[in-house]
Chains A and B, each alone.
Chain A
Amino acid sequence: MREVFASTVQEVMADDPRVAVVIAEISRDAFRPSPRVVNVGIREQLMVGVGSGLALTGMRPVVHSYAPFLVERPYEQIKLDFGHQDVGGVFVSIGGSYDDPVWGRTHQSPGDVALFDSMPGWRVQVPGHPDEVEPMVRAALAADDRRYLRLSLRQNENAFPVVEGFTAVRRGSGGVVVAVGPMLDPVLAATADLDVTVLYATTIRPFDGAGLRAAVAASRADVLLVEPYLEGTSAHLASEALSDVPHRLRSLGVRRDAELRAYGTADDHDAAHDLDVLGIAAAARRLFTHPVAA
């Protein structure tokens, strides 16, 4: 996904003088040298501030780093230098929740979407396939708003058209599963023998509450939300969308209750968080095959 991101940005830059990239060493070799690619060194607060200053002069900044260094370390800069100044920009992270778990907790950012969710006006997109990245990046560069694109090494087998709301990948009468980005393939495998609707989400903010309501109306009001970041990050919006519908909601994601001090592979971490096929299947069975009380 990173390669598609970098090549798309550089293609657009050739025609659009508004576009400039700000990085802090990470991915410096992914971009060809250009006056409009500013590597500030290992200075993440400055990276965000410089992006804001570029936006204030009318440019379209792309601010990019590894997720914890892009989002968590300079969180106040994002809140104030972009949100409070009311300027636009395109934030693009790599690394996801635990793409490279051998690096440990310092390089894991399961809370990134929740942090963006704490600030108004951000569009958050989580592609599940490299082919979805190019249209997302092109649309982001052509706009003026604030966007966060969460790129990952994890991906689904097939790409889907990038649309505003949720895409129904499968229809069923026994409930609704929302799979965000790279969670689609494990969700499809985990629910293969269940009669449920599977919605695929790449744009998770704004949240397609109308799409969820419609899917629930055509199925059953049992919803399983499967997100590749902090569990329940979108639960409040699912609840709000279904606030006048008696419903059950179960959220899967990166667990909140403990820091997982383990290395290994991303698959190992999926299993630990019940985000692998077995874990999702178990949660789906409990929710969808015990309709009265789990």
Chain B
Amino acid sequence: MRVGEKTGFADIPALFERMTGDEKHEWAAASTLHVLWVLYDRVLDVSPDRVDDPDRDRFLLSKGHGPMAYYAVLAAKGFIEPSILDEWTSWDSPLGQHPDRVLVPGVEISSGSLGHGLPIAVGQAVGLRLQGRSSRVFVLVGDAELDEGSNHEAIALAGRLGLDNLTVVVVDNESGTHGWPGGVAARFAVEGWEASTVDGRDQGSLYEAFTAAHPGRPMVVVARVVAS
């Protein structure tokens, strides 16, 4: 498989295996995988030959930890050469345990420290709107990442500014120690966001949620991936 070849979801396990070695089923445990696949396969207006196009959509992986699913999807979609997965995290690999936008084509932000992606996404949404561009900004955060107060600064402002070019996907595997009584979506809804909660492993439901209209307000999709 080389850059440019058409690949599908069925190729993901093999791409994972290049990073995990013998752990054959680790891909199935990745909480972000279906979200990432649906976004890159059916939602985002991005492609490897347009990584600097100012009118491209932006996807920000704020929760940079556990990036194998992200790298596998980027490889499947032709942004990176699949062979570089073999040597990931080695000295001169562009792929670390947290992604670096300077090193990896198609990666929009360097992440790893929690609570940075959503504030940056708000700035991008404002910037794109100021420039009259129709590009959209998607940002993936984890439910425990919402512990970081910077997210709540961003949630409030995005609601007040009515940033309808912004979608937050919260991958909710109930990993936060103190939890969110009443649900994650309520934290956004009270600030004026369009909010929905779907099964994070149901690609059809994810697609419907990601493409729902939300005129005049930002949208949050809570993708539940609690172990069954």
Contact = CB atoms under 8 A, between A and B. Distances in A.
Contacts of A58: 54, 127, 131
Contact of A53 (B54, B110, B115, B126): B126
Interface of A: 17, 20, 22, 35-36, 38, 40-41, 43, 45-46, 48-59, 61, 76-77, 80-81, 84-86
B144 interface: no
Contacts of B220: none
B112 to A, nearest CB: 8
Contacts of A17: 131
Interface stretch (B24-32, B41-49, B83-91, B117-125): B117-125
A80 B102 contact: no
B102 A49 contact: no
Contacts, number: 99
A49 B130 contact: no
Interface stretch (B146-154, B168-176, B181-189, B209-217): B146-154
B54 A46 contact: no
B153 A56 contact: no
Given A49-B154, A50-B119, A85-B101, A56 B113 contact: no
B156 A49 contact: no
Among A36, A54, A57, A61: residue with most chain B CB under 10 A: A57
Contact of A49 (B101, B128, B150): B150
A61 B126 CA distance: 12
A57 B54 CA distance: 7
Contact of A40 (B125, B127, B153): B153
Give the one of B102, B124, B125, B127 with max A CB within 10 A: B127
Max chain B C-beta neighbours (<10 A), residue from A35, A38, A49, A56: A49
Contacts of A35: 130
B113 to A, nearest CB: 6
A49 B122 contact: yes
A61 B74 CA distance: 30
Nearest to B119: A49
Contacts of B110: 80, 84-85
A199 to B, nearest CB: 36
Contacts of A80: 110, 113, 116
A43 B130 contact: no
Given A46-B122, A48-B119, 10 more contacts: A22-B123, A46-B119, A46-B154, A53-B123, A54-B123, A54-B124, A56-B109, A57-B123, A57-B131, A85-B109
Contacts of A41: 153, 156-157
Contacts of B131: 17, 57-59
B83 to A, nearest CB: 26
A23 to B, nearest CB: 12
A57 B128 contact: yes
Contacts of B126: 38, 50, 53-54
B199 interface: no
B153 A76 contact: no
B191 interface: no
25 contacts: A17-B131, A40-B153, A41-B156, A43-B153, A46-B150, A46-B153, A49-B120, A49-B122, A49-B123, A50-B119, A50-B126, A51-B123, A52-B119, A54-B126, A54-B130, A56-B108, A56-B109, A57-B127, A57-B128, A59-B130, A61-B123, A77-B116, A80-B116, A81-B116, A85-B109
B94 to A, nearest CB: 14
Contacts of B127: 20, 53-54, 56-59
Given A40-B153, A84-B110, A85-B109, A20 B130 contact: yes
- Shortest 9 CB-CB contacts between residues of A and residues of B: A53-B123, A49-B119, A57-B127, A50-B123, A46-B153, A43-B153, A53-B124, A45-B150, A54-B127
A53 B102 contact: no
B113 A52 contact: no
Nearest to B148: A45
Contacts of B133: 57
A43 B157 contact: yes
A67 B188 CA distance: 31
A267 B116 CA distance: 40
A49 B60 CA distance: 13
A181 to B, nearest CB: 30
Nearest to A84: B110
A125 B118 CA distance: 30
Contacts of B124: 53-54, 56-57
A48 B153 CA distance: 11
Contacts of A22: 123
A43 B116 CA distance: 13
A53 B153 contact: no
A57 B56 CA distance: 10
